[in-house]
Chain A
Amino acid sequence: MRIKIKIPRLLIDLLKECKKDPVLTFSIVFLGVVLIFAIIPEIIAPYPYAYIDLNKRLLPPSLEHIFGTDGLGRDIFSRIVYGARYEIFIILLATLIGMPIGLILGFISGYFGGSFDRVISLITDVQLSFPPFILMMIIVLLLGPSLINAIIAVSIYLVPIYVRLVRGQVLVEREKLYIEAAIAVGSSSWRILVKHILPNTSGPLVVQTILNSSSAILNVAALSFLGFGAQPPTPEWGTMMMEGRPYFMTAPHAILFPGLMIFLLVFSLNTIGERLREIVDPMLKI
């Protein structure tokens, strides 16, 4: 039996969990910090992110530069603060592209079944048979290496995950009486999707969106690190790691801190996603 779950309710439940779960509290706070970085970097960053000072190349962390400086003498902490914007942008854009496509395809596939279902399942099967990272690289090379194109590539990779989730949910909901009643009173398919099925699948969908966001961050960062994503001098965290790689033996801090930020952001998103999943599906916690 599925209970109707509303998103605000979900967030309140999540905040209640914080009381007994320090890891979750840390995750929410860290996500908040990244958001603040993204909103007001000008106030928080001690230096402009593109300020080059060749006399201060590769300085280790100190009071003046808490995360040290990079190969061009730029302050790494300031670049990380400005870079938060790009990470939030990655989360938003990847969700905005991947989720609607996955939602619509999954709905058509599950609700109408038949040949729609077969064609969509075949497409997802073909896509999933491609080695994921190779697929993303091909898409980026086709479109040209840039942050936006890396995000598009990752979003395309994420679509089948949404399709399978929504299709499964729709298959379960479709059999229920209230859908039959809705059809009987003459509701359109669109209305049934928006008014009935969507609210009832919102819980698992929110969870999957958060987990997919963390996957988007990781994959875009990996693409950037290999030179397929955001291009220098963009302070995207993966790109910063790519720029730091040549000096890695002597100045590991140029890679350590941007990577640590990616790690903590992904960790926070995963923790929040997992805890929400337990709230949505209590069977998992037992």
Chain B
Amino acid sequence: MLKYVLVKRIPQIILVMFLALTLSFYLVRAIPGDPIEVMLGESPATPEMREHLRKVLGLDRPIHEQYLIYIQRLLSGDWGKSIFMGIPVRELIFSRFINTLLLATCSMILSIMIGIPLGVIAALKRESIIDHIIRGVTLFGYSIPVFWWGLILIYVFSVNLKLLPSIGFGTPQHLILPSITVATLVSASIARITRISMLEVLNQDYVIAGKAKGLSQYILLRDYILRNAIIPVVTIVGLNFGTLLTGSVVTETIFAYPGIGKLMVDAMYMRDYPIVTSGIFFLALMFSLVNLLVDILYTYLDPRVKLERSISV
């Protein structure tokens, strides 16, 4: 399997990264408007001044030349400098990414704590009223528009009850509302996959055999059912975590949370090219690596799965 990862997956990730980087470089620069316009706006700057700024930022060169310079620097570890903040992009991205990682981890812990028990209970009580209620709640969870849900939580808990801070960052309390907002969606998808996976395992012969041989409900659940049913859940948790790492743009915007999603959106408004291009590169890399890890973990947890096969179909 190691050979498969080294020979097939890693080169593929490098190719995808290169294409994503190139595409984002050209797409972002094709957006109408440039940083000079944003910076100077309607100010009475002379054309000479504009030209000068362009030269300083290296925007006067042909775009393909800019691209080559950018790639060269990126390979040597220089991700460029933010046009507006003057800070090296790598530092900026890393410091914001830590915040996103924090939010993603909190949301994921919360989602697992809610989602897995709900899924297990629904499956054990299948077709009962409890099952129907849990499935209804699950559908609610992933139909909710996050921007609406986030605002409602702010209104109820910060404006009305004055229990929690609404926006910003710094104390653990600031993490609660954004985490709940994100976890509502993620726990629903975890609960759903847990339920389906449990039902599949419950129908297996070895579970029926275990029951026939008189094992207690607890042992049966712990050693026979959960152990096998949890495998697809791990995959979904991993994939969701990968998505969360790329920043919940909407949630971060609503709560003015200084994560990587908010950084990217702000940079896009300002046409801060280095942040957007390097940011997309970084996020795409994170996403691909998490996916690779999930695939490897999957074969490790379930030795019946051959990595080569599970991916090619």
Contacts and interface: CB of A to CB of B under 8 A. Distances in A.
Given A222-B146, A259-B148, A270-B142, A131 B283 contact: yes
Interface stretch (B109-117, B151-159, B223-231): B151-159
A286 B19 contact: no
Contacts of A214: 143
A137 B268 contact: yes
Interface string A205-237: 000000000100010011001100000000000
A226 B280 CA distance: 20
A268 to B, nearest CB: 8
A274 B138 CA distance: 12
Interface stretch (A48-56, A178-186, A248-256): A248-256
Contacts of B212: none
Interface stretch (B91-99, B175-183, B247-255, B299-307): B247-255
Given A241-B147, A270-B143, 10 more contacts: A129-B16, A129-B284, A130-B283, A131-B261, A138-B268, A142-B30, A248-B151, A248-B155, A259-B148, A267-B143
A114 to B, nearest CB: 13
Contacts of A256: 152
Contacts, number: 116
A122 B16 contact: yes
Interface string A107-133: 000000000000000100110011111
B46 interface: no
A120 to B, nearest CB: 13
A277 B75 CA distance: 47
Interface string B26-65: 0110111000000000000000000000000000000000
A87 to B, nearest CB: 12
Given A129-B284, A131-B264, A131-B280, A221 B199 contact: no
20 contacts: A126-B19, A130-B283, A131-B246, A134-B249, A134-B283, A138-B27, A142-B27, A142-B30, A142-B32, A222-B145, A225-B147, A225-B250, A226-B265, A245-B151, A259-B147, A260-B148, A263-B148, A271-B139, A274-B139, A286-B199
Interface residues of B, number: 49
B145 A221 contact: yes
Contacts of B243: 132
A55 to B, nearest CB: 26
A168 interface: yes
Interface residues of A, number: 41
Interface of A: 23, 122, 125-126, 129-134, 137-138, 141-142, 144, 168, 171, 214, 218, 221-222, 225-226, 241, 245, 248-249, 252, 255-256, 259-260, 262-263, 266-267, 270-271, 274, 284, 286
Which 9 A-B pairs rank lowest in CB-CB distance, beginning with the nearest?
Answer: A259-B148, A267-B143, A131-B246, A129-B284, A266-B143, A133-B249, A286-B199, A141-B31, A126-B19
A249 B280 CA distance: 34
Given A130-B24, A270-B142, A262 B16 contact: no
A130 B246 CA distance: 9
A22 to B, nearest CB: 9
A259 B150 CA distance: 11
B313 A171 contact: yes
Contacts of B152: 252, 256, 259
Nearest to B17: A129
B196 interface: yes
Nearest to B22: A126
Contacts of A133: 249-250, 261
Interface string B252-283: 01000000010011001000000000001001
B139 A131 contact: no
Contacts of A138: 24, 27-28, 31, 268
B23 A126 contact: yes
A263 B155 CA distance: 17
Contact of B143 (A122, A132, A134, A263): A263
Given A133-B250, A270-B142, A23 B136 contact: yes
Nearest to B287: A129
B140 interface: yes
Contacts of B247: 131
A126 B148 contact: no
B12 to A, nearest CB: 8
B15 interface: yes
Contacts of A274: 139
A168 B313 CA distance: 7
B268 A141 contact: yes
